[in-house]
């Protein structure tokens, strides 16, 4: 979990050094629509089933992210929010041998998250605030699909993940605003079972990151 050390240190530094102007936030309810580009580094796929265990490196690339959030901001600079996120990245043929799945496809998830975020003044602008945050994500479904010669095989499961968020919010008006941010999610050794029950299971880490843009409304 070394990837968490730097963002966590930055969070503590921001909390310690944030000027009092950040506390002028009026707070209240807000909602956002989130869009982005997701990516994930290659992951090892451990296939078991039919007495033929195999391990191969899944070559992953980029894809899309979309979602929505509802949150509440406090005058202290803290915010809490719930969000729904769907994201998917393309997957190339991992090179497994039958009866393991073959072909290219995608690695995707849908999840519900509870995030805690802190706003602070990094730019010295009354229109812009920077934020750092972390959240717990209930991955309702993690799904990897393979397609070869028109035949699709799917493996899916569920898990709990952690995510880190960093970005900036720019006010476009009294109630309308825009966010731009980065996020990283991690779940280790997710168990993905064959959806038809006949082709074993896969275990793989799920660790996408994404660059996002969100449009929001302050109630």
pLDDT digits (tens, 9 = 90+) for 66-90: 999 999 999 999 999 999 999 999 9
Distances (CA, A) of 57 to 76, 82, 123: 46, 34, 42
> CA-based diameter of the chain, in Å?
63
Residue extents of the structural domains in the chain = 2-15+29-218
What's the pLDDT score for residue 16?
A: 44
Higher pLDDT, 5 or 81: 81
Contact present, 119 and 164 (Cβ < 8 Å): no
Please write the tens of the pLDDT for every residue from 94-147. Answer: 888 887 888 899 999 999 999 999 999 887 888 899 999 999 999 999 999 999
What class has domain 2-15+29-218?
mainly beta
Its pTM stands at 0.84
DSSP 22: G
Strand partners, 132: 118, 166
């Amino acid at each position: 979990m070394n990837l968490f050390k730097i963002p966590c240190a930055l969070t503590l530094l921001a909390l310690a050094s944030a000027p009092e102007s950040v506390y002028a936030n009026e707070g209240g309810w807000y909602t956002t629509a989130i869009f982005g580009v997701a990516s994930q580094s290659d992951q090892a796929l451990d296939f078991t089933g039919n007495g033929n265990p195999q391990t191969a490196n899944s070559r992953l690339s980029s894809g899309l992210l979309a979602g929505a959030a509802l949150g509440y901001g406090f005058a202290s600079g803290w915010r809490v929010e719930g969000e729904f996120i769907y994201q998917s990245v393309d997957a190339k043929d991992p090179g497994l041998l039958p009866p393991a799945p073959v072909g290219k496809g995608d690695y995707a998830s849908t999840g519900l998250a509870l995030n805690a975020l802190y706003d602070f003044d990094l730019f010295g602008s009354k229109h812009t605030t920077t934020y750092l945050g972390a959240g717990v994500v209930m991955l309702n479904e993690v799904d990897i699909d393979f397609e070869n010669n028109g035949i699709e095989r799917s493996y899916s499961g569920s898990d709990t993940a952690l995510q880190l968020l960093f970005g900036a919010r720019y006010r476009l008006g009294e109630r309308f605003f825009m966010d731009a941010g980065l996020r990283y999610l991690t779940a280790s050794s997710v168990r993905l079972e064959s959806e038809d029950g006949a082709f074993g299971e896969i275990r793989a880490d799920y660790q996408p990151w994404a660059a996002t843009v969100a449009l929001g409304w302050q109630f």
